[in-house]
Structure 1
Amino acid sequence: MPPFKKLILVAMLSYGATAASAASVAEYNSPDRYDWWKYLQLLEKNVQQEMPAGSTVQASDAQRMQLLRAVGSPLQRLGTARAMLGDSMGAIAAFDTFEQLTLYQQRKGQPHADDDARLAAATPRDAIHAIVEAASKRQIVILNESHHVPMHRAFAAALARELRKIGFDTLAVETFGTTPNAWPYIHEQTGYYSNEPVFGHFLREARQDGWAFVQYEEERADRGADDYPRQRELEQAENIQSRIFASRPNARVFIYVGYSHSVETPIANKREDDVRMASHVRRITGIDPLTIDQTVMYAHAAPGAEQASYQQAQAKSDSQRPFVLLGPGGQQEVFGAYRNGVDMQVIHPRYAAGASGRPGWYAMLPQLQPHRIPANLYPATGRKLITARATGADLHAVPYDAIVISADAPAPQLMLPPGSYTLLESL
C-alpha cells in the first residue's frame, strides 16, 4: 500500500481548536503511514481499465472468470478503501460487483421453501432490546460484521453500550493486532479494519466505558495454505480460552468477528473438526454463546444483490432502527445462509439519508453530530479528501471522520463527537 505523499493542514474547526504545529503535519506525512486516498484512486483506475461499465451484465462464464482474475482482488480492496474514506454505499457496491462475478449472491440468496410463510407470520422487535434480553442469561455474545460495512460497527457500538450495562466486561475483536492496549487511544496499529473512523469510534467509546480489550487472532508463519482456514478457526477459539477464561472464568465476553466465524454448526466434538470459531469456543469453554448475524439482511447498492427475503423482511417494520423477527412461538427467525447456524439475525432497515448527507444509521451513534465543512475547503474541480483529527492528538491515531467531497455534488457533513478538531485535505 503506498505511503502518504502529501497532506496539507487546511483548517481548524471552530470547536475550540488551536493551531497545529508544522512538526505534527510532517509526522502525518511520514513514509511509514498509509495513504488510503491515493490507494483509492489507484484501485478505481485499475478497476475502470480492466472492467468497463456494464461488462458484467451479460458476461459468459469464461468472460466472468477472466474479469474475476483481473479485478477480483482490486474490487475487494476498493470496497475496503471506500469504507475507510466515508463512502459506505460505494464500498457495498464494490463488493456487490465482486460477488456478482463469483456468483456468490446466487449461491447465498436461494430462499428456503418456507421463507414466505415464516415472514408472513413473524413480528418485529427492536434488535438491541431483544439481544440484551437474551444476553442477560449468557456469558458470551458473538456478533459478526462484513468488513466493508461501517454500519455494522455502528450497531456493534450501540450493542456494546448496552451489554456493558448488564455486566459484560471483555471485548475481543478479530481485527485487533497483537498489542491493542499499547496506546491510550485507538492507534492505526490497534488493528487493520479499525482504521475506519466508525470502527475507531466504536473502540474509543468501548474503552471509555471500561471494556477490557483482548486480541485473539493468531498469525502463524508455520501454517500451510491448505490447513490455514481450519487451523485459524481452532486457534482463535483456543486463544479466547487461554487469554480470557483461563484466568477469569467468570468473565462476560463480547466477541466481534467477521462473517461466518459466528456460526455454531456443525457442532465441534473434537479438536480436529473442520468447524467455525464459535463452535470451537462452545466445545473448549463449555459455554454456549449467543451468536448473532447481521451480514445477510441489509440494503445493497443494487436491490438485485440483496438476500432474496430482504425486501419482504424489511417491510415488516417501519422503524429506522435495526430489528429481529420473532415467529408465532417467540422463536428467533433467521434467513439465508446462516439459518440453523446462529441464534439470532439482525435486519437493518433501508436507512433514509440524514440531513447531514450521511447515512441514517449514524443515529445509532448519538454522540456524533453533523458539522459543516468550511466552504473555502470545497474543491473548484474534481474531488478531495477531508480528514478530521482531534487537535493536538498523535497523528498516528485513527481519525474521527474522513469524507470525500466533490465539486459537482453537495458536500456531506462531518460526523464528530464534542471536541476540537483539525481538518486535513488530501489532494
Structure 2
Amino acid sequence: MMRRAAVALMMLPAAVMAQDGPSKADWDAINGSLKQLKDGRYLDAANILKPLAFDAAGKPKPGIFYSQWREARTRMTAEPAGPEPQPSYAPEAKAAAERLAATTARDAIAEIVARAARTRVVILNEDHGLPRDRAFALEVARALRPLGYSVLAAETFWNTDDQAPMARLAKDGYPVHSSGHYTQDPVFGDFVRQSLAMGYRPLAYEQTESGGGLSRADSIARREEAQSSNLAKVLAAAPKARMFVYVGHSHVAEEPIGGYGNAKQSWMGALLKAKTGIDPLTIDQVTLGKRASGYNGLARRALAAKAPGRSVVMFDGDRPVTVGQYADAVDLQVYHPATRMVKGRPDWLAAMGRKPMAIPAGFVPQKGERLVQAFVASESDDAIPVDQVLLRAGDDVPSLMVPGDRPLRLVMQDPTASPGAVAAKP
C-alpha cells in the first residue's frame, strides 16, 4: 500500500508536492484514506482527511490534506468543493485578460480534429480536481476515434511489471478500484468505460519507482524521463498507431517551462517529442479552468461571452493564443462554458450520454450525510460507479445521472457502515 500511496502523491500537481514531505502520521492518514478508496468507501476516505484539512475554527488549511480532502469530496459530487478563487488584478493577470478579450473563439473539438489529423499523438491535460475536464476528454476521445486513434494512455493507470491491471481493464471493459487512482472518480471511470467500448486499448506508462531520496526537481525529472521513455517504446513498436495521452497539469508541455528555482524544466511532452521526432498536438485545459488560480479570473470573465454553451479555443487571426504558465508550450488552450446546475447536477453530465434518474425516497437520509451510488448491474462488485451523489438530510435531493440503456443497481453508503444495495432499472 505504501508504494501506491507514493505513486498517488507523485500524481499531485507540483505546487502541492513542493511542500515539505508528509510525516509518518501524515502517511498513516493518507494510507488510511487510500485504503478506504480501494475498498470503495468514498465517504470514509474523505472523512479521514477532514480533521487534518481544517483548523479548529473550520477554516481550510492549505496543503496536501485540504487538497486531498477536496478531491475526495469532488468524487462524490462531480463539482469541485470550495469556492472559485477570487480574480487577481496583478499586471500579468490583467494583460492576459486583455489579450484574450481581443481574440476570436473557435469550436474546440473541430479545431482539435483538424490538427489531430496531422499527427499521431494528442496530449490533453486536466486539473485533477475538475471532473468537467474528464467529460471533455470523452468528447475528444469520440472525435479522435474516426481518425484512427486507438490507444488511450492515461497517467493514472496503474503500471505494474505484470501489467495485470491493464489486462483486466481491457478484458472487462470497465475500470475497477485497482485500475488507477483518478479513475476512482465516476466521471473519469465512465470516460474510460466509454472509450474502451469505442475500441481504444488502455496503456499504462507511469513511472514504476517512487524516486525516494531525490530533490523535488530531480524526482520530477526522473518521472518525466520514465513516462516519455515508456510511451516512446510503444510508439516505436507500433509505427502506425495513433495515441491519445491523458495527463495532469504540466506533463502536457512540449517545450521547457519554469520549474523550481525558476529553472526551465522539460516535462513529459517535451521529452516525448525529442525522443520520437513526433510533434504532438498538445492541449491545456488547466490554465483557463475554474479552479486554476485567481490569475485567470479576469480572463474567464472576458471569455464567458465567447463560449455560450460550447468549449472553445482562442485565436488571433490564424494563430492560437496561449497564456500563463503554458504560453507557447502547448498548441491550444480550452475554455469551457460556465456550468449550469440541472436538477442539482452539472449540465455537462448529459453530454456524456446520461439521463436523470430520481433517487428513491428510501435512500434519502434522515440525518447526516449519505452517498448514493449507481452501478452498472452487470459489472463486478469492485467496479467504479457510473455516478454517485452526496445527500444531506434536509437538503433538496438531486438526480442521479445515468446511462438510460442498461440495468443498474443502487447502493447507499453511510459513514463507517456497510453499504446496502437494491436492484434498479433506469
Same fold by TM-score, threshold 0.5 exceeded? yes
- CA distances 1:310-333 after superposition (whole Å, capped 9, x unpaired): 21122223x222111111x21111
Over 3 Å counting, the alpha-carbon distance change for 1:383 and 1:306 in structure 2 is farther
- Quote the Cα distance in structure 1 between the aligned partners of 2:360 and 2:320: 47
Matched ranges for 1:24-423 at <5 A: 33-48=39-54, 50=55, 52-53=57-58, 67-68=61-62, 72-90=63-81, 93=83, 111=92, 114-178=95-159, 179-183=165-169, 184=172, 185-221=174-210, 224-226=213-215, 227-242=218-233, 244-266=234-256, 274-300=265-291, 304=294, 306-317=296-307, 319-327=308-316, 329-354=317-342, 356-365=343-352, 367-417=353-403, 418-423=405-410
Q: What is the deviation of 1:197?
A: 0.5
CA contact (8 A) 2:149 2:241 kept: yes
Over 3 Å counting, the alpha-carbon distance change for 1:300 and 1:282 in structure 2 is closer
- CA distances 1:133-157 after superposition (whole Å, capped 9, x unpaired): 1111111110000111110000000
Structure 2: tracts of 5 or more residues without a match: 2-34, 160-164, 258-263, 415-426
Over 3 Å counting, the alpha-carbon distance change for 1:381 and 1:160 in structure 2 is same
Q: Secondary structure at the match of 1:234?
A: helix
Over 3 Å counting, the alpha-carbon distance change for 1:305 and 1:275 in structure 2 is closer
Q: Does 1:424 align with 2:424?
A: no
Structure 1: tracts of 5 or more residues without a match: 2-28, 57-66, 268-272
Aligned to 1:16: none
One-letter identity of the residue aligned with 1:277? M
- Quote the Cα distance in structure 2 between the aligned partners of 1:123 and 1:196: 34
TM-score (norm 2): 0.79
One-letter identity of the residue aligned with 2:333? Q
Over 3 Å counting, the alpha-carbon distance change for 1:249 and 1:392 in structure 2 is closer
Over 3 Å counting, the alpha-carbon distance change for 1:116 and 1:220 in structure 2 is closer
CA contact (8 A) 1:294 1:345 kept: yes
CA contact (8 A) 2:37 2:177 kept: no
Higher relative contact order (CA 8 A, sep 6+): 1
- Quote the Cα distance in structure 2 between the aligned partners of 1:415 and 1:116: 35
Over 3 Å counting, the alpha-carbon distance change for 1:30 and 1:405 in structure 2 is closer
CA contact (8 A) 1:299 1:349 kept: no
One-letter identity of the residue aligned with 2:42? W
One-letter identity of the residue aligned with 1:265? E
One-letter identity of the residue aligned with 1:321? R
- Quote the Cα distance in structure 2 between the aligned partners of 1:215 and 1:30: 23
One-letter identity of the residue aligned with 2:367? T
One-letter identity of the residue aligned with 2:145? R
Over 3 Å counting, the alpha-carbon distance change for 1:344 and 1:392 in structure 2 is closer
Q: What is the deviation of 1:396?
A: 0.7
Q: Secondary structure at the match of 1:41?
A: helix
Dislocated runs of 4+, deviation >6 Å:
29-32
Q: Secondary structure at the match of 1:246?
A: helix
Q: What is the deviation of 1:83?
A: 2.1
- Quote the Cα distance in structure 2 between the aligned partners of 1:316 and 1:344: 16
One-letter identity of the residue aligned with 1:256? Y
One-letter identity of the residue aligned with 1:240? L
Over 3 Å counting, the alpha-carbon distance change for 1:119 and 1:374 in structure 2 is same
Please give the root-mean-square deviation of Cα atoms over the aligned residues, in Å.
2.7
